[in-house]
Chains A and B, each alone.
Chain A
Amino acid sequence: MPDGLRRFARNRMAVLGAIVIAIIVLVSVLAPFLYPKGAFSLAGQPLQPPSLQFPLGTDALGRDVAAGVAEGARTSLLIGIAAALSAVIFGAMIGGIAGYYRGTVDIVLMRVTEFFQTIPAFLLAMLLVVILSPSLLSVIIAIAAVSWPGIARLVRGEFVALGGREFILASLGLGASGPRIIFRHLLPNCLSAIITVGSLLVATAILLETGLAFLGLGDPNIMSWGLQISAGRVSLRTAWWVCTFPGIAILLTVLSINLVGDGLNEALNPRLRER
């Protein structure tokens, strides 16, 4: 692992991404202390342009845009990570079962996976949130429900590729049980690939979350970047800053996660680079 860390540190873009993510995490943690009144509270005159008092301006309801961006960071990171993690666990389970047991189970599970990859993901997520009624949990469920197929196919592929290798055959010969082979031998061997793809999933999950919140499908009681942008749309003509800054926050977050994901890919799967 230190070897991988060194390879990661050599990738300047990835390190830059990691630093930006660290700053965003810091801001989201400090948000309750920086803005103790919360992002929904009245802070000053409505639609003030950026100034020293309000570095990112205020919106049509006199709320501080900076407070919203800080609190939105927490929402986006929380949903992004929780949804990506659930998708990874579920996807790895499906892919693992298909790749380990093969046969009919494999065919059926992979057909289902392909099906979920074909259908319009965003629409399904929308439907799920509407049906479960918008809340933090329903958004996480909806995003996870459309994000797992990639992981499932990845894990299945890795399991199938590893399945015939000598060390697996040796463990089988020694009488190792199914779960032992899966958890002790197969999963650890494809962990680096899962981490890489999983980190990139966080980025797409955040993009999905902001899209849903923009359409009014976020938790109405929790501040988020998508909600800020959709609220700021009305005053776009007079106050460009309300929409602009939350969008830059999304862009920076997603960009940084992608950079770190690419960096992890090069650090953890060095063989891929030579291709």
Chain B
Amino acid sequence: MRRWRYFGYRLLLAVPVIFGILVLNFFLIRLAPGDAASVLAGESGAATPEYTELLRQKFGLDRPMPEQFIAYITAALRFDLGFSFRNDSPVLDLILERLGPTLLLMSTAFTMALALGTLLGLLAAVARNTWRDAAISVATLICYATPGFWLGLMLIVVFSLTLGWLPTSGFENIAEGYEGWERVQDIALHLVMPAMALGLFYLALYTRVMRASMLEQTGMDYVVTARAKGQTETRIMFGHMLRNAFLPVLTMAGVQAGNLIGGSIVVETVFGWPGVGTLAFTALQSRDLNLLLGIFFISACIVVAINLIVELLYVLLDPRIQA
């Protein structure tokens, strides 16, 4: 039961993070040149003077700073992230509309990277200092240095433009009007390249961590004990070491969750994937700061959620964890 109390404690720690984001957002608006109300309304002429005045009153921009701050926090805690004049829609609705595809892309890339990375790291560690280890090391070094957006473009050149195997962009082929299973297949085809472009960096990262972690475990007493008991190497590997060696990978996965969202912005832009990333890109181009801040807030909430899931997995995998 104490394990769950530990998890509850971590859950509590998420609160200051969310609060911190709001504080950061509040000051970022004020860092922008010009009047905060016009910044919130979107740049030059997108909003009517009436709306700007309404914002000024709503956020109390004519009142002292502490009052402004409280007004901002209460609005944000009610998930009132303001209105995007460029898109003629509340910021929250815009983001929620686009959240599905982004979560699909992120979870696919993340799961693929985690599963394959663990496997490749394991393979490399088992075959240490052989050609297989060297090949995996070189491949990870290269993937580790490749920018995701460029990889995406190169994948398009090879697999779409030259070979014609995969669609260049988008989420699905709407014109075909697929339904049911066919639609799933269609979306999956569209998902292959963005997920690769996003996931390959993390695949390389997890492979490196897993390899190092496996090598660290080899000399441990429990491995020697298992071997002395006469267990087979395969059993020692999968039954004993895998679970222990996986923990640092999981930690790294949690730490990297925030970067995964950043990566999905560029990758979505490359593939015209209709998610939060593309939304961020259009917001960027029209300098719709309020929408960008809203995306920042929601993304940070997602990161906190992912961290909690990782924490939960950690508690499940490692019974030694106690508060």
| A interface residues with partner B (beta carbon < 8 Å) | 111, 115, 117-128, 130-133, 203, 207, 210-211, 214-217, 229, 233, 236-237, 240, 243-244, 246-247, 250-252, 254-255, 258-259, 275
Count residues of chain B with CB under 8 A from any CB of chain A: 49
| Docked-complex contact A124 and B287, CB < 8 angstroms | no
Cβ B141 vs Cβ A247 within 8 A: no
Residues of A within 8 A of B270 (CB): 233
Cross-chain contact A131 with B285 (CB below 8 angstroms): no
Partner of B149, one of A214, A217, A254: A214
- B interface, over-half SS: helix
Q: A64 to B91, alpha carbons, bound, how many Å?
A: 42
Are A258 and B145 in touch, CB under 8 angstroms?
A: yes
Q: Which residue of A lies closest to B29 (CB)?
A: A131
| Distance of A236 Cα from B300 Cα, bound (Å) | 34
A121 to B259, CA, bound (A): 6
By a CB distance below 8 angstroms, the chain A residues around B285 are: 216
Closest to B269 in A: A215
* Pairwise interchain contact B142-A250, C-beta atoms closer than 8 A: no
Q: From residue 289 to 305 of chain B, which have CB atoms closer than 8 A to chain A?
A: 289, 292-293, 295-296, 299-300, 303-304
Say whether B161 contacts A236, CB under 8 Å.
yes
Main secondary structure of the interface of A (DSSP, over half): helix
With a cutoff of 8 Å between Cβ atoms, the chain B residues found around residue A121 in the complex are 258-259, 262
A119: contacting residue among B258, B265, B289, B292, CB under 8 A = B258
- A126 touching B31 in the complex, CB below 8 Å, given contacts A247-B147, A275-B216: no
Interface set, chain B 130-170, CB cutoff 8 A to A = 141-142, 144-150, 153-154, 156-157, 161
Closest to A237 in B: B161
Known: A119-B303, A120-B300. A130 touches B292 (CB 8 A): yes
Q: How far is the CB of B227 from chain A (nearest CB, A)?
A: 21
Closest CB-CB distance, B208 to chain A, in whole Å? Answer: 10
A-B contact pairs, 19 of them (CB 8 A): A117-B255, A118-B258, A119-B296, A120-B299, A121-B262, A122-B259, A126-B280, A127-B292, A131-B32, A203-B145, A207-B147, A214-B147, A214-B149, A214-B269, A215-B269, A229-B153, A247-B153, A250-B150, A254-B144
